[in-house]
Structure 1
Amino acid sequence: MNEAHSHTSHHGTRHEHHREHDSEVQAEILDLDAEVLAEHMASITAWLPLETVPRRIVDLGCGTGAGTFALLERFPDAHVTAVDTSAGHLQRLRAKAADRGVGARVRTVRADLDAPGWPDLGSPDLVWASASMHHLSDPDRALRNVRGALAPGGLFAVVELAGFPRFLPEGAPEERPGLEERCHAVADRLHAEHLPHRGADWGPMLAAAGFTVEGERTVSVDVKGSRSEAVGRYALGGLQRIRTSVAAELSPEDLAALDRLLDAGSPHGILRREDLAVRTERTVWAARRA
C-alpha cells in the first residue's frame, strides 16, 4: 500500500490542507499495515532468491518504511535508499530510522517515479517495490529504469497486494450482510480508470523489460484480531479511507450501516467487534537483470 505516485495540485491552501490531512491518514494506515503484517513481510524478505547478500538496496515507493525496515533487519550490513513522492512519508521514515538507531543506514530521496528522469540511485544489488508499481502510469519505463540501475546480477522484487484487505467476516454486519464487499466493488470500479495496473501479472512485463523471473510466490494473509489490537485500528482507518471515495455511490442503507461501524465511540462500532481479521494475499515476483 506504499504510495509511489500522486498528483500535485495547485488549487490553493484549502486543497493543500486537505492533501496534507489525507497524507497523514494514509501514513497512519501504512504504519498499521507494517505492524500487523510484519511476519508476512519478514517471510517474503527471507524467501528472496539472492545470489549474494545485498549491501546496497533501493526501496521504491517506500511509504513510511515498512519495506525499508524489514530489509534493514533482514540484511544488517545493508544501506537502503528510500524513494517516495511524499515529503511527509519520508520525514516520518527518517524519524523512525533515528528512533531505531539505523539513521546512518538510510538515505531518503523524494522523487516522482513517473517522471522521465530518475535521480541517481547508485548501483543497487536489490531493488524492492512493495504496493507501488501499480500506481505508475508508465510502469514499463520504470521497469527499464530499474534494470538500468541494478548492479550486474542484481535482483528486483515486486510485491503487490490482491486489493485492500478485508476485515469483517462473511455475513457481517448483521443488518447489512456483504457491506464490505459492496464497498470494495464500488472502490475498485472507481479506481480502475486511474490504476489500470492494479492486480496485474508482473511476470510478463518484467520479462519484456529484460529481466529473468526467478521466482514467484503468493503469501496468504489471515491475521486474527485477537493476535493484535492494531487490527481494529487498521480496520477502522482502512474503512474510513474507503468511505471517502465510495460514500456517494452507496445506498442510504449501506452508508448508514458503514457509519455505524465507523463510530469509534459506539458499542456497535468496529473497534468493539471481536471477530475482525486482516485477510488478503501478497504476491512477490523476484527478477534478475538478464
Structure 2
Amino acid sequence: MTRTSPHTAHDAHDAHGQAEILDLDAEVLAEHIASIAAWLPVESAPRRIVDLGCGTGAGTLALLNRFPEAEVSAVDTSPSHLHRLREKAEAAGLADRVRTVQADLDAVWPDLGTPQLVWASASMHHMSDPDRTLRQVHDTLAPGGLFAVVELAGFPRFLPSGAPESRPGLEERCHAALDQHHTEQVPHRGADWGPKLTAAGFALEGERTITVNLGPPHADDAVARYALNSLRRMRPGVAGTLAPDDLTALDQLLDDQSPHSILRRGDLTVRTERTVWAARRTRRT
C-alpha cells in the first residue's frame, strides 16, 4: 500500500520509484503470486473481489486470471499507481473487469460493496490501526467470504554469501539495520496476523509460507534491476546505521558505472518468503 502524495516533486519521484519496484516484483515473482492465488480456499468462485493497497496491480491481475468471471475493485492511495494498474489491465484486455478506487484506508472507508474475497498483500502493516481495518474488512465481506492477508518477510536478499566485492556479510548487516528502522517506523511489519484475524471475528482457515529461491539460470536482467531498485530503496533506511566502509561498498553496488555494480553480476539470486493467512467471515449474521 502506498503512502505517496501527488502534490510535490519529491513525492512524485518516490511514487515513480516505488511503482518501478512493484512492477519488477510482479515480473520476477509472478509464478509465486499466482501460486498464492491458486491456493486460496474459496468455497466458490468469487464474483466481486477487493484488492486493498493494490499498488500497480500484481495481485489484481493474478486474481483476475485466477477467477475469470470476477470483477476487482482495486484500492490504493496513489493515483499514479492506480493509473499504472489501469494501463496494465488495458494491455491485458481486462480493463472492463477492474474498478480503481483512490482512498486512504486509515481515513474514511470507501464504498466497496459486499465482496466475496478481499486480498491485502504487503498493505496491512502500513495501517495506523490494523485491528480497526481488520474489523472493517470483516464487516465489508459477504457472509462466508474470504480475507487473504499476504505479508513479506522483508526485502529480498540477492547477493551470494561471501561475495568478495560486497564485503562479507554486507547484505545481512543492511537487513539488520533496516529491521531496526522498520521496528521504529513500521511497527506492524512482521506481525502474526493469525491471532489478529481471530480477534476481529474471522475463522482462520489456513496459513501458508511461500519460499522463493531464484538463481541462475532463472536470474536475468529483471532480477538485476529488481536487486538494484530494492537496494536503492533500502539505502535511506540504513545509511545512518551502517559503518562507513559498508556504506561505501553498498554505494559501489548501486553505481551503474562502477565495475562492482550489481547490474554487472552474474551470480544474483532472489531469496525471500511470503506468508499468506486465509480467514473467513462466518455465515452467522
Q: Does 1:231 align with 2:223?
A: yes
| One-letter amino acid of the counterpart of residue 111, structure 2 | D
Give the aligned partner of residue 260 of structure 1: 252
| One-letter amino acid of the counterpart of residue 195, structure 2 | P
| TM-score, normalising length: structure 1 | 0.93
Give the aligned partner of residue 201 of structure 1: 192
Contact 2:166 2:253 (8 Å CA) reproduced: no
Give the aligned partner of residue 126 of structure 1: 117
Give the aligned partner of residue 215 of structure 1: 206
Per-residue CA deviation, residues 106-158 of structure 1 (Å, 9 max, x unaligned), is 0000111111x301001001000000001111001100110111011100000
Q: CA deviation at 1:262?
A: 1.0
Give the aligned partner of residue 114 of structure 1: 106
Contact 2:115 2:145 (8 Å CA) reproduced: yes
Change (3 A) 1:175 1:238: closer
Give the aligned partner of residue 56 of structure 1: 48
Q: Does 1:272 align with 2:264?
A: yes
Change (3 A) 1:235 1:72: same
Give the aligned partner of residue 58 of structure 2: 66
Contact 1:78 1:105 (8 Å CA) reproduced: yes
Give the aligned partner of residue 143 of structure 2: 152
Unaligned runs of 5+ in 2: none
Per-residue CA deviation, residues 77-97 of structure 1 (Å, 9 max, x unaligned), is 110000001111111111111
Give the aligned partner of residue 78 of structure 1: 70
Change (3 A) 1:225 1:271: farther
Q: CA deviation at 1:284?
A: 0.4
Give the aligned partner of residue 97 of structure 2: 105
Give the aligned partner of residue 243 of structure 1: 235
d(CA) in 1 for partners of 2:12, 2:89: 22
SS state at 1:121 partner? coil
Runs of 4+ in 1 over 3 A off after TM superposition: none
| One-letter amino acid of the counterpart of residue 22, structure 2 | L
Q: Does 1:38 align with 2:23?
A: no
d(CA) in 1 for partners of 2:127, 2:71: 25
d(CA) in 2 for partners of 1:221, 1:247: 27
**Aligned sequence identity (%):** 69
Contact 1:226 1:274 (8 Å CA) reproduced: no
Contact 1:31 1:66 (8 Å CA) reproduced: yes
SS state at 1:81 partner? strand
Q: More deviation in 106-115 or 266-275? A: 266-275
Contact 1:225 1:232 (8 Å CA) reproduced: no
Contact 1:173 1:179 (8 Å CA) reproduced: no
Of residues 161, 172, 177, the one that matches 2:163 is 172
| TM-score, normalising length: structure 2 | 0.95
Q: CA deviation at 1:222?
A: 0.6
Contact 1:147 1:289 (8 Å CA) reproduced: yes
| One-letter amino acid of the counterpart of residue 120, structure 1 | D
| One-letter amino acid of the counterpart of residue 193, structure 1 | E
Q: CA deviation at 1:226?
A: 2.9
Q: Does 1:140 align with 2:122?
A: no
Aligned residues: 281
SS state at 2:113 partner? coil
Contact 1:170 1:177 (8 Å CA) reproduced: yes
Of residues 187, 194, 197, the one that matches 2:178 is 187
Change (3 A) 1:91 1:7: closer
| One-letter amino acid of the counterpart of residue 138, structure 2 | R
Give the aligned partner of residue 29 of structure 1: 21
Q: CA deviation at 1:172?
A: 2.3
| One-letter amino acid of the counterpart of residue 30, structure 1 | L
5 Å-filtered alignment, 1:1-40, equals 3-4=1-2, 6=3, 16-40=8-32
Alpha-carbon RMSD across the aligned residues, in angstroms, is 1.4
Q: CA deviation at 1:75?
A: 0.7
